[in-house]
Chain A
């Protein structure tokens, strides 16, 4: 059954968008890749993907006037998901690029993991996610494996926005949610059927 939802994937020079596009197509939901914020009113859901550095992607967003448009989209109660660096950009800043600004939709910032031979960086591969059973986790076992590739983690954030945790030389926050804003440090589009299920749950969240 085709839902009435319409998803926009923000194209802002954040690497290859094919996988997340294919995943949403696979879920039989209308999806477009959007490279300018002029027409985002028609979308019920937006995805901010991200492979690259925080600073460069933050600049790219600004150049095309995305920040204020995304903020408006969220204020209207529409649904937003940031993935990987896209998740990091939901916050205020990251130690990866000093001085660069995130969207500031969630308070907090990112710092690097403690590097060690036992826990090399980047943290890459499948790791277990222990979640809080909120709506977006419906039908997903605790703990489930998701695919990670990153070197930075949230330093400090309010407890109520923490939606899942993962262990890599200590616990870190792997998924956040604040009302209609969601952020995934892992790549659901690379995480088998369990990742598709998470995306499906996201697409079923209504404003």
Chain B
């Protein structure tokens, strides 16, 4: 059986990795800082996949070049599936992201661009497309979807669910802008809003994981096939190891990478 997943997301902008809280970014360090402080190769025993996102509104070719350069350096020491995203607007962009080491690509702003996901799927297959939906409640507790790094209203969540059959994708990530970076736990209420026709695809949650229990509590839900955290300080190093051990001890169906393998 396919396993559930714990995924780490790196948020990248202008040569630095960032922490995010409610989508406000805080610069924490560059690639050598990341490698020196977190021994990035070692942490890969505790995550199933890595997502690297270029979190910049409409990044230029130069921005993307810098992003790929650092990601390619990271790939020399981490041997797990990698999803790359941020700034993909066309099939040509997609090809560029695959050539720079993506196993899957992540779409956000471009999910809603007519026919783009279908065109990508024709060339690369729908399993290669992860879509990330950034959402937030308004004053009346209605869920709204935002694009362009959370800055622009796109449509309501119910409207999006009505359109879901027009979009080609392999998995869907629900990223709560309100919970992002708070460490108060993931938004589990979203699960009850997901329509049945969406449940045949892998569903992943992101935003708010601050402790190992938060991850386990989400993974315990049948419908949740993965949890994503981007919190560098809570989860790199020992934090990821503890999160994985905790989930495994709750009998969650995760791959067990912990065996001591000598390479």
Contacts and interface: CB of A to CB of B under 8 A. Distances in A.
B37 interface: no
A195 B2 CA distance: 17
B125 interface: yes
Interface in A180-199: 187, 189-197
Nearest to A187: B81
Nearest to B81: A190
Nearest to A53: B125
Given A125-B3, A126-B2, A189-B79, A27 B257 contact: no
Contacts of A18: 72, 75, 101
Interface string B5-21: 10000000000000000
A149 B263 contact: no
Contacts of B5: 125-126
Q: How large is the interface on A (under 10, 10 to 19, 20 to 34, 35 or more residues)?
A: 35 or more
Contacts of A168: 1-2
Interface residues of B, number: 31
A141 B102 CA distance: 29
A99 interface: no
Chain B at the A interface: mostly helix, strand, loop or mixed? loop
B98 A16 contact: yes
Interface string B107-134: 0000000000000000001010000000
Contacts of B99: 16
B263 A123 contact: no
Given A22-B79, A190-B80, 14 more contacts: A16-B98, A18-B75, A120-B201, A122-B127, A125-B2, A126-B255, A139-B262, A147-B81, A167-B1, A189-B79, A190-B79, A192-B44, A192-B261, A197-B262
Interface of B: 1-3, 5, 44-45, 48, 72, 75-77, 79-81, 98-99, 101-103, 125, 127, 170, 200-201, 255-257, 259, 261-263
25 contacts: A16-B99, A18-B101, A19-B75, A19-B101, A19-B103, A22-B76, A26-B76, A125-B48, A126-B2, A126-B255, A139-B262, A144-B259, A145-B3, A145-B256, A145-B257, A147-B80, A167-B1, A189-B79, A190-B81, A192-B261, A193-B261, A194-B257, A194-B259, A196-B263, A197-B263
